[in-house]
């Protein structure tokens, strides 16, 4: 049973549920289970989870606001560039860009939904349920969603087995 995960990405509940996010990552660091508690130690923050209520795999909500802002900025930039060129080129560029945009939007949605995060629900010191989100980032290379998903699934199974053996 693996009780130490040296390269882990962390996201807060606020960030995962935000409609105005461009990335999901809050921090990165290590996650280890010792002395009956789960400890995340990152560059910016640390978290100690003393009692785990549940461990689930989730897919973050699609940040529609960020997607709309990104595409609007892209279209405004394209409009600015096209305002500087002859009008004959505008129609050609328009017909070239439409298929690109038709591919870009579904890819952005796929990229948001394809990456599964581990959601850990736990009570804090005031006994209020909180959620923390983790992703195994040990083999992540841009464009390799497969290894990212496989590693996160392995981490999920290990965390579930640690939780069940701890009580």
d(CA 101, CA 107): 10
Range of the domain at 121: 4-60+115-166
**Residues 56 and 120 grouped into a single domain:** yes
Determine the pLDDT at residue 119. 92
**Residues 22 and 99 grouped into a single domain:** no
**Residues 105 and 25 grouped into a single domain:** no
What does pTM read for this prediction? 0.69
Determine the pLDDT at residue 121. 93
**Residues 78 and 93 grouped into a single domain:** yes
- Please report where in the chains the tokens 């983790």 appear, as a residue: 134
**Residues 83 and 120 grouped into a single domain:** no
- Please report where in the chains the tokens 């690109």 appear, as a residue: 100
Which of 12, 20, 14, 24 has its CA nearest to residue 113?
A: 24
Residue 112 pLDDT level (bands cut at 50, 70, 90): low
Q: Is the pLDDT of residue 9 over 50?
A: yes
- Looking at per-residue confidence, does 31 or 85 come out higher? 31
**Residues 155 and 131 grouped into a single domain:** yes
Read off the pLDDT of residues 129-147 as tens digits, 9 standing for 90 and up: 999 999 887 766 544 555 5
Question: How many domains, the chain?
Answer: 2
**Residues 33 and 74 grouped into a single domain:** no
Interval 1-16 mean pLDDT:
80
**Residues 56 and 126 grouped into a single domain:** yes
Domain at 124, CATH number: 2.30.29
């Amino acid at each position: 049973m693996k009780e130490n995960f040296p390269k882990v990405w962390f996201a807060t509940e606020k960030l995962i549920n935000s409609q105005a996010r461009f990335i999901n990552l809050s921090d990165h660091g290590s996650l280890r289970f010792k002395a009956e508690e789960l400890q995340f130690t990152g560059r910016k923050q640390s978290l100690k989870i003393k009692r785990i209520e549940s461990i689930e795999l989730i897919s973050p909500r699609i940040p529609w606001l960020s997607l709309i802002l990104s595409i609007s900025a892209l279209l405004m930039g394209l409009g600015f560039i096209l305002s500087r060129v002859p009008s004959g080129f505008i129609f050609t560029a328009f017909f070239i860009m439409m298929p690109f945009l038709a591919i870009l939007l579904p890819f952005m949605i796929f990229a948001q939904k394809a990456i599964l995060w581990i959601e850990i629900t736990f009570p804090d010191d005031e006994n209020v349920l909180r959620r923390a989100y983790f992703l195994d980032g040990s083999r992540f290379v841009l464009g390799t969603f497969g290894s990212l998903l496989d590693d996160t699934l392995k981490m999920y199974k290990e965390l579930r087995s640690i939780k069940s053996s701890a009580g």
